[in-house]
Amino acid sequence: MARRTAVILLTFMTFVAAGGLARADDPQFTLTIKDHRFAPAELQIPAGVKVKLMIKNEDSTPEEFESRELHREKVVPPGQQILVIVGPLDAGTYPFFGDFHKDTAQGKLIAK
């Protein structure tokens, strides 16, 4: 029964996800992880709208994009890119970091 419940749940969520995903015309920005650093380390994005962040990991090791302020936490496998949707955000500064290399992988979004 547990498995059936899980399957139903997953199917349901897949449908909801397909319906609720951000639109194609949302502004998109790219962040690149190289040598365990984010480039650019400071990214300006528009406030008040949903924004898509494409995060590319050019390192050979996995990273986890994380931000307490943005409520986001997502693994970026090596050599891959992932999509993180943020906002609509109030104007302000939102720090983020790479959880697996916190000493170097630091950055911030500046919503204006």
Partner 1 sequence: MIAVAVIVFREVLEASLIVSIVLAASKGTPRRGLWVAGGIALGVLGACIVAGFAAEIAQAVAGMGQELFNAAILFAAVGMLGWHNVWMGRHGKEMAIEASALGREVAAGTRPLYALASVVGVAVLREGSESVLFLYGVAAAGGGGLVNMLGGGAIGILGGVVAGAALYLGLLRIPSRHLFAVTSWMILLLAAGLASQGAFFLNQADVLPSLGNEIWDTSWLLTEDSVPGRVLHVLVGYVARPAGIQLVFWAGTVVILLTLMRWFSTAPTRTVVRAAAFVALALAGLSLAHVARADFTIHPPIVEYREFEVESNGSYTFDPNPANKHNETGTLELGYGVLPWWGTELEFAWSRTASDPPRRLDEINWENTFQLADQGAWWLDPGIFAEIGKSARVGNANHFEIGPTLQKEWGNTVHVLNLFLEHGFGPNNDTKGLDLSYAWRSLWTWRTELQPGFEIFGDAGQIDRIGGIRDQELRAGPVVYGRISLGPVLGELKYGVGYLLGLTHATEKGALKWNLEWEWVF
* Nearest distance, CB of residue 56 and partner 1, angstroms: 12
Closer of 39 and 47 to partner 1 (Cβ):
47
Cβ atoms 106, 95 nearer than 8 A:
yes
Q: Count the neighbouring beta carbons within 10 Å of the beta carbon of residue 51.
A: 22
* Nearest distance, CB of residue 36 and partner 1, angstroms: 9
CA distance 4 to 47: 42
Binding-site ranges for partner 1 (CB under 8 A): 2, 5-6, 9-10, 13-14, 16-18, 20-22, 50, 60-64, 68-69, 71-78, 80, 82-85, 89-90, 99-100, 103
* Nearest distance, CB of residue 31 and partner 1, angstroms: 15
CA distance 14 to 82: 18
Burial (0-12, 13-18, 19+ Cβ within 10 Å), 31? buried
Closer of 43 and 55 to partner 1 (Cβ):
55
* Nearest distance, CB of residue 100 and partner 1, angstroms: 5
